[in-house]
Amino acid sequence: MSDNDTGGTPKDSHYARLRRAHREKTRGAPPVRPRRPSHPGRPAPADRVRLYGIHTVQAALANPERRLHRLLATRNAVNRLELAGEPPCPLEIVEPKLLDQELGTDAVHQGVMLEADPLPARRLDSLAEANLLLVLDQVTDPHNVGAILRSAAAFDVGALITTTRHSPQESGVLAKSASGALEVVPHIEVVNLADALGELASLGYQTVGLDSEGPQPLEAALAGRKVALILGSEGKGLRQKTRDTVASLARLDVPGRIKSLNVSNAAAVALYAARWHLAR
């Protein structure tokens, strides 16, 4: 005997009930808007970088070492930048859509873009009396490097040292993640990290590599009055050559069940410990 013969509901009534339930659940809810298609943006002119975001651009405009070319901003962004007098480079008032076309729809530009030259290259022998340095051994993610730069600025690091290869170049993504710190923390690129660590040692820096299997906690390893902390890549950590070159290896002791930290978080914790040591 069929469902219809017994006076029951049709076989497709199950789906009808689901549709009714969905209508009831979503009644009054805001409509679902289709996601914007991703657009990569236009490439920057040769030998220039495009910086974006309010804090990033504000810091770059205030940096006397920046050679600026043009500033594109919405009217709202101009007010947020709080420019004192005439801007230091040509300013174009634009609509947000134009910035999406220039930078790509994934860039969180906050209505402003600055076109400038990359910062001048620096050398290790340009280090003055800095007592704390941060060295990255092939950390490749620009978001991580940007976050590390923010921590470096917060803890008054004298310079961030990276390798020329297998490290992100200066870019809008890195600068936005650094939120202005790229303009205040000197960034030095070296070709050979082992040679650079040797030079730092000759300049009086205690080179301490962070390693999860380090023989002692970082707090116990810190001994000198000038410290260079070395952190490895997101996945592999320090390379063997780097392990063999640093003066000592140390670990970050953490009490929780997860014993490893993201490299940017590890950098912040290590910098706090180093600053505490140097302040004693």
Query: 109: domain CATH number?
Result: 3.30.1330.30
Residues 180 and 63 occupy one common structural domain? no
Cβ-proximal residues to 145 (8 Å cutoff; 6+ apart), any chain: 136, 139, 162, 167, 168, 174, 177, 178
130, two tokens:
């800095």
Question: What CATH number has the domain bearing residue 215?
Answer: 3.40.1280.10
- Among the three residues 61, 92, 116, which one is the final residue of a domain in this structure? 116
Residues 105 and 137 occupy one common structural domain? no
Q: Count the domains in the chain.
A: 2
Within-domain flag for 21? no
Within-domain flag for 19? no
**Which structural domain range is residue 153 located in?**
124-279
- Among the three residues 67, 83, 116, which one is the final residue of a domain in this structure? 116
Residues present in the chain in total: 280
Residues 139 and 197 occupy one common structural domain? yes
- Among the three residues 82, 116, 150, which one is the final residue of a domain in this structure? 116
What pLDDT is attached to residue 43? Answer: 76
Residues 129 and 112 occupy one common structural domain? no
Residues 143 and 99 occupy one common structural domain? no
Indicate the angle between helix axes 263-279 and 142-154, nearest 10 degrees. 20
168 half-sphere exposure, CB direction, 13 A CA radius = 22
Within-domain flag for 30? no
Residues 137 and 112 occupy one common structural domain? no
Pairing mode of beta strands 68-73, 91-93: parallel
pTM above 0.85, yes or no: no
What pLDDT is attached to residue 1? Answer: 44
Give the whole-angstrom CA distance, residue 93 versus residue 242: 49
Tens-binned pLDDT, residue by residue, of the chain (280 aa): 444 444 444 455 666 666 676 666 656 655 555 555 556 678 778 889 999 999 999 999 999 999 999 999 999 999 999 787 788 999 999 999 999 999 988 889 999 999 999 999 888 988 878 999 999 999 999 999 999 999 999 999 999 999 999 999 999 999 999 999 999 999 999 999 999 999 999 999 999 999 988 999 999 999 989 999 999 987 789 999 999 999 999 999 988 888 788 999 999 999 999 999 999 8
251, two tokens:
């670990």
Residues 166 and 68 occupy one common structural domain? no
What pLDDT is attached to residue 76? Answer: 93
Residues 112 and 242 occupy one common structural domain? no
Which residue, among 225, 258, 53, 253, has the nearest Cα to 150 in the 3D structure?
Answer: 53
Within-domain flag for 100? yes
Phi-psi region of 161 (alpha: psi -120 to 50; beta: other; left: phi over 0): beta
Residues 79 and 200 occupy one common structural domain? no
Residues 141 and 267 occupy one common structural domain? yes
Within-domain flag for 7? no
What pLDDT is attached to residue 68? Answer: 96
Residues 72 and 151 occupy one common structural domain? no
Within-domain flag for 203? yes
What pLDDT is attached to residue 31? Answer: 57
What pLDDT is attached to residue 23? Answer: 66
Residues 84 and 186 occupy one common structural domain? no
Give the whole-angstrom CA distance, residue 168 versus residue 137: 12
Within-domain flag for 137? yes
